[in-house]
Amino acid sequence: KDIVMPQHFLTILDFSKQEAAALLDRAAAMKAVDYRSDLLDGKTCILVFEKASTRTRVSFEVAVRHLGGWPIFMTQNDSQLGRDEPIRDTARVLSRYADCLIVRTFGHHKLEELAAAGSIPVVNALSDEYHPCQIMADLLTMREHSGGLEGLTLAFVGDGNNIAHSLINAAARFPFRVVVAAPKGYQPDPAVVARAREEGADVAVVDDPAEAAKGADYLYTDVWASMGQESEQAIRARAFAGFQINDALVALAKPDVRVLHCLPAHRGEEITDSVMEGPHSVVWDEAENRLHVQKAILEWIFTKGK
């Protein structure tokens, strides 16, 4: 049997432009028919989550079932990961039992180690640096609401975190502009911005939310303190004061601006209740699209090069 290199999905840059566009087409088609298949018949996908999750965990478990496979969910609390068995050792063992690893962890380098150490595909279900599955669902949502992505401007307001980084990566694969407004000290990693620009991304980084919001088609925000940064909550709340999506900021954007949030949201911090529940919010469509996109990602991983 030929040895086929596993197809990992660690960042959006793992897709070519053609693959990225095809993935959204496929996810939309799957959504239209509430797709089911037996592609993963007899196959097991292990979710290894070192951080909490509602959407990513459940949408992946459901997606695996919709494709005919079997998901197993593991956390550090109920496995030897919590007793310091290295994630790379865990991966090598799990590679012998299962067909795919879907991993939520801290440092992104851990995912790269897993991909290198194991022999089955690894999917990034969020790392400190990137959240590619989320951003593919966001792009599907934007396409649905705007008819396409060409020429759109998305303003991300808040922390230059994993969500911001994956949005910046997305701008290297899709024809839209990303403007990140973040306070100094919390701006996206310049290396991520530089790499995306080298690959053609239209990205700007500013420190004024109003400047970013002006004329935007989409406003996007995320929590000020990500998982793992809980002890910085107070200091971050001070740094991010003013970096809130509220009615005043929405009023600066295009009249038909749509508001995205990956969720979970902290109403009254990065976004107001009024915007979350208001007419511009598309956050529930966005959350639903996680499921459809996860199915398309799994299908891509299991069929690419086969």
Using CB under 6 A, pick the residue from 101, 262, 282, 298 that binds ligand NVA: 262
233 is catalytic: no
Q: Quick check: is 165 catalytic? A: no
The string of DSSP codes covering 87-103 is HHHHHHHHHHH-SEEEE
Q: Is 227 in the site for ligand NVA (CB under 6 A)?
A: yes
If contact means CB under 5 to 8 A according to the sort of partner, which of ligand CP, ligand NVA, none does residue 54 touch? ligand CP
Site string for ligand CP, 206-245 (x = CB under 6 A): ----------------------------------------
In what side-by-side order are the strands of the sheet with 218-221?
A: 202-206, 177-181, 153-157, 218-221, 258-261
Site string for ligand CP, 243-262 (x = CB under 6 A): -------------------x
Q: Is 163 in the site for ligand NVA (CB under 6 A)?
A: yes
Examine the residue annotation and report whether 7 is marked as an active-site residue of this protein.
Answer: no
Catalytic choice (76, 100, 128, 134): 134
Per the annotation, does 233 bind a ligand? no
Phi, psi (rounded to 5 degrees) for 70 = -120, 120
Restricting to residues 28-67, which ones interact with ligand CP according to CB under 6 A?
53-57
What are φ and ψ of residue 72, in 5° steps? -125, 130
Angle (deg, nearest 10), helices 132-146 and 162-170: 60
The tokens describing 234, both together, are: 């107070």
**Residue 99-128 contact track with ligand CP, rule CB under 6 A, x = bound:** ---------------------------x--
Token pair belonging to 206 = 């500013």
Distances (CA, A) of 32 to 35, 39, 128, 289, 306: 8, 18, 33, 11, 26
> What residues contact residue 296 under an 8 Å CB cut-off, 6+ apart?
23, 24, 26, 27, 30, 136
Binding residues: 53-56, 80, 104, 131-134, 162, 222, 226-227, 262-263, 290
Query: Which residues of this protein are in contact with ligand NVA, per CB under 6 A?
Result: 126, 161-163, 222-223, 226-227, 262
